[in-house]
Chain A
Amino acid sequence: MSKDYLRLGVIGGLFCLAVLVAMPAVPLKIPQVGVSTTVGGYFIRLFNDRLVVDLRDVKRGLDLQGGVKLVLRADMTKLADPDKAKALESTREIISRRVDFLGVTEPKITTVTTGDEYRLEVEIPGIADVKTAVDAIGQTAQLRFKTLPPELEWSQANFADYYQNPDLWVDSGISGADLRGADVTFAQGTSLQDKTTPQIELKFTAEGRKKFSELAKANVGRPVALFLDESTLPISMPVISQDLATGLTGDPVINGSFDMKSARALSLQIRAGALPVPISILQQQTIGATLGAESVQKSLKAGVIGLGLVMLFMLALYGRLGLIADFGLLLYTALVLSIFKLVPVTLTLPGIAGFILSIGMAVDASILAFERIREEISWGKPRTIALKLGFDRSWNSIKDSNISSLITAGVLFYFGSGMVRGFAVTLAIGIGVSLFTNIFVVRTVLRTLGKF
């Protein structure tokens, strides 16, 4: 018996915890004891920021926030197989940087590889115009190489004057489109310092190489500045060294006092101006934000009404037993919501629908068990025994019937994308949690309370 009370305690504790996690921030004021604080909506940092848990809000999908979704195809036909994965990853990095320039919060860029197809899915919340997004992503020539006009004197001493005055620079006609990429490498020299100092190697296209070679010959001893459209200051301002006086021999490098971190950062910035492979748009979608907000309101209302009606239904059909099932259902709702926040699950409209649907399915196991208890009693079993048998003997149907639903949720998750996955995830979480609340919680509460 004491074991049952222990379980009851665990259930009570779990319920409180789930409610605390699931609830949004609510102000709590008790003037009599001088308490004034907020409850719920936590933001937790642990272990020196190594674990950050944001429980302030559920993550909302694109259809709820409004925004733009693009599916891009990376054309890998000209690359050798081993290079493809790397090219896709660096395309992702570059596009992600370009999207960052739009200044939106939490854009999501994922790579999808199916067979021979290499794709990027880009979700940009908060912008209404798909053209803005396509323009930002589609630009291939953001990086510009500029030089100083011949009449301007150059010496290392006035570096800062030129660095801070982008207007003085003249476009050389070389852009990110002439560049295949930029990598961090190490110098070819023999000294230890050479071998450990990172430098950035610029990889030009055949056309770009020709242009840069001309530029180098004309600007020996003078600087060339690399501008990214959105930045007002050059991202780099190397001086063309003497050994380029006769034009390019190998790939040109930018060296200086780089450490690994700064070299990598610069190569990334340069690469942001050049996509390693051509991309094309396979699919694009805009979703109005107002539509999303309205839908959330409506779905929430539908959810609350649905929950209320199911609880009434259980109460009407099973009386006091129903009351316990209703408690299980409330615990279920709190648990599922807190799992959504903890994982975190990105909620979409179909996801919310899946959750609300699962509320209706959550009492399923209770109904099967209650009906069985009813039967056992009608067959002349004493109540306490009927209660145990009811749960034991209904387990088979409960297990089998839920597994078939889990199979479909699994298939949906595997084959689906976006919206469909959202639905599959909430449905699967719902089924899992409902098994727990019914089998463990409702059963324990019933057994402990004994009479019904």
Chain B
Amino acid sequence: MTHDTAHSGETVGRDLIKYKFWYLAFSALVIVPGLIALVGFGLKTSIDFTGGSVLKFSRPVDAWDTAVVRQLVIDRGVEVSSLTVGEGGQSISVRTRPIDVNTNAELVAAVVAASPADTHQTSFETVGPSIGGETAKKSLTAFGVACLGIVLYIAYAFKNVPKPYSGVRFGLSAILAMLHDALVVVGVFAILGHYTGVEIDPMFITALLTIIGFSVHDTIVVFDRIRENLGRFKGKPFDWIANYSILETMRRSLATSATVAITLSALFVFGGASIKWFVLALLVGVISGTYSSIFNATPILVLWEGYLAKKN
């Protein structure tokens, strides 16, 4: 590789790395409420993971009276685990233990009989308890495998980092930033789940996995530049090089995330209701991923390398 040294004497613009503790503090400020919600409220998981049935009804006039519907269902010997009335009050979603089609038909008849004309069932979904547990296990495995795959790849991709720096530390810093993004999204959805009833479903897991891919994507752009600059500016301190690299790559980090955020925002605003939360999870993840690649991954790496340098 040839390197340009003509400008290596240049003074760098702003010193961003100086504020590294503030960036980490800001992340904590975002993550901690989510964690509290996660521990306090737990995650609201969909029937895909727990097993159960969801019956949805819709009617053109009048809002639903949840107490009436609940009683109708209980009268037929079916436990109700939750009842949610949709926006505008014209749709209602009833979640129960797993029931079969015949019980569903009975419930539909009962609800329709007790409602104004044109009331109908819009959807019926049942997941057996065994398949639910299996989906949950599979999701966790997928998350683990994706993380492991990415760690291995980064360790491989950064194996040529000049001594005394190490590719493993680059990789692990990227992973920490990635976990940051996962925590932000999970925390946001723990809060949303408690206040708006949004459920964690397989699509949320999909969003989460996509986000960790994205997060690393952004981080790699910065780290790649740090690696390059380590060769170009031999003798300069690590934090100076890291800062210089962040400044150099800032524009592209922001631009690449902006285009993704643009399409996701278009989907969130104009797209259908059924993928709204999926898109929101991605959007939160992309924003968090951009922040963490600049303000978490690199500061962590600087702190780590700095600590090791001091020790030696």
Contact = CB atoms under 8 A, between A and B. Distances in A.
Interface of A: 63, 71, 130-131, 134-135, 281-288, 291, 294-295, 298-299, 301-303, 305-307, 309-310, 313-314, 317, 349-350, 353, 356-357, 359-361, 363-364, 367-368, 371, 375, 379-380, 396-397, 400-405, 407-412, 414-416, 419-420, 423-424, 427
A190 to B, nearest CB: 53
Given A130-B101, A281-B128, A285-B126, 14 more contacts: A284-B126, A302-B267, A314-B259, A350-B203, A360-B261, A367-B252, A371-B251, A371-B252, A375-B248, A379-B4, A404-B213, A408-B212, A415-B138, A420-B205
A221 to B, nearest CB: 45
Contacts of A410: 149
B261 A282 contact: no
Closest 4 CB pairs of A and B: A295-B272, A408-B213, A360-B263, A306-B266
A298 B260 contact: no
Interface string B8-31: 000000000000000000000000
Nearest to A325: B259
Nearest to A288: B122
Scoring A281, A286, A303, A423 by chain B CB atoms within 10 A of each residue's CB, the highest score goes to: A286
Contact of A306 (B121, B267, B275): B267
Given A350-B278, A408-B210, A411-B146, A379 B263 contact: no
A407 B149 CA distance: 7
A195 to B, nearest CB: 48
Contacts of A350: 203, 206, 275, 278
B269 interface: yes
B221 A298 contact: no
Interface of B: 4, 6-7, 100-102, 104-105, 121-128, 130-131, 138-139, 141-142, 145-146, 149-150, 153-154, 157, 202-203, 205-206, 209-210, 212-214, 216-218, 220-221, 224-225, 248-249, 251-252, 255-256, 258-267, 269-275, 278-279, 282
Contacts of A364: 256, 259-260
Nearest to A285: B125
B266 A419 contact: no
B268 to A, nearest CB: 8
Given A130-B104, A360-B264, A379-B4, A349 B206 contact: no
A192 to B, nearest CB: 53
A283 B126 contact: yes
Contacts of B126: 281, 283-285
A387 to B, nearest CB: 16
